[in-house]
Structure 1
């Protein structure tokens, strides 16, 4: 009987490795196949991580306008009640629209979402929005963490977070880059605009408990910022 144990464990190990390799290949092929050719759709496709296709989906391969995206996002937010509104829309070149959402009654950031400008698909932004958001978060695995009664006190205040972010971009990208503090305080972190020579070029987040910095490096080139509130 003792001689059978190595064989059993060997079969189990071989099966686990085969599953891991198969899953890795599937994920690689999946990420290559989604979206429009040459277009950065992000991390998830329809049906995954809360994404959904909206009424403005088109088949002409032309981009939806920011107004159309705004309309779909507003419809999407109705699923959370009537206390959320769009704060900013970032329009990128051949990448998803980025939308910051805030609470009407507090003015505090609620969540960050992405919208496919070709299909109207809406889904939670990866990174800090999923991993650090203490009130509105679609965690890995698909479970929604949403607590309307959440109260939250940050360890890192906004002034300190701005300095951490500014030091980060200067050390990583150069002296011409800066973080002036424009952005939103979410439940668990801040997201700030990155500027180069006084022009907004991207964004990063700072964890308000640890001071950890997470650069949003998945967006691409920024075309314009539309402020709704």
Structure 2
């Protein structure tokens, strides 16, 4: 998923640990994905919140012990490899990404992030709607909705307002809250 070294690929975030190798066993259910996410979260003293299944991967939100959103991770369904989600979680996350302590000034509110997401979708001729903006360190992630149901997600940088579509997930399948 994110490399093939045993457990890290470079300096930076949390001692350089961006991903964790799976055991090669396919991950086919939300419960199995949550178990992989739990093992990864434990290394960071975080806990797993929402877990989502898409056609290409499993996605999970990690939270601090106090319940604040910390970062987003992916679980590879083919082998269980688990790691920080590429895109915004890796590049924009000022607490757990590659640029810890980077641009931390929040200039975009959650409502402005949703407005930017809606404009971004409209500018591309999409009929999707942006859901609630969930705040991660340095950015927001929003579900994209079609007829009130999750279709995908995108993120908005809290400092610049840039939008990043999560094109790597594939088709939405299901969600598990915990």
1:66 is the counterpart of 2:18 = no
1:114 is the counterpart of 2:79 = no
**TM-score for the superposition, normalised by structure 2:** 0.83
1:131 is the counterpart of 2:91 = yes
- SS of the equivalent of 1:179 reads strand
Larger radius of gyration: 1
CA contact (8 A) 1:88 1:100 kept: yes
Q: Structure 2: any 5+ residue segments left out of the alignment?
A: 10-17
Residue by residue, what CA displacement relative to the aligned partner does 1:176-212 show, whole Å, maximum 9, x if unpaired?
Answer: 311131x520110000000111111100000111111
RMSD, aligned α-carbons: 2.1
In structure 1, what is the equivalent of residue 60 of structure 2? 99
Count the aligned residue pairs: 167
**Relative contact order (C-alpha < 8 Å, sep 6+): which is higher?**
2
Structure 1 stretches of at least 4 aligned residues deviating more than 6 Å after TM superposition: none
In structure 1, what is the equivalent of residue 130 of structure 2? 179
**Higher helix proportion, which one?**
1
Q: Quick one: distance in 2 between partners of 1:86 and 1:168?
A: 29
Q: Structure 1: any 5+ residue segments left out of the alignment?
A: 1-41, 140-144
Residue by residue, what CA displacement relative to the aligned partner does 1:127-170 show, whole Å, maximum 9, x if unpaired?
Answer: 1111111110146xxxxx4x7xx9x5521111111111111112
Q: Quick one: distance in 1 between partners of 2:27 and 2:96?
A: 28
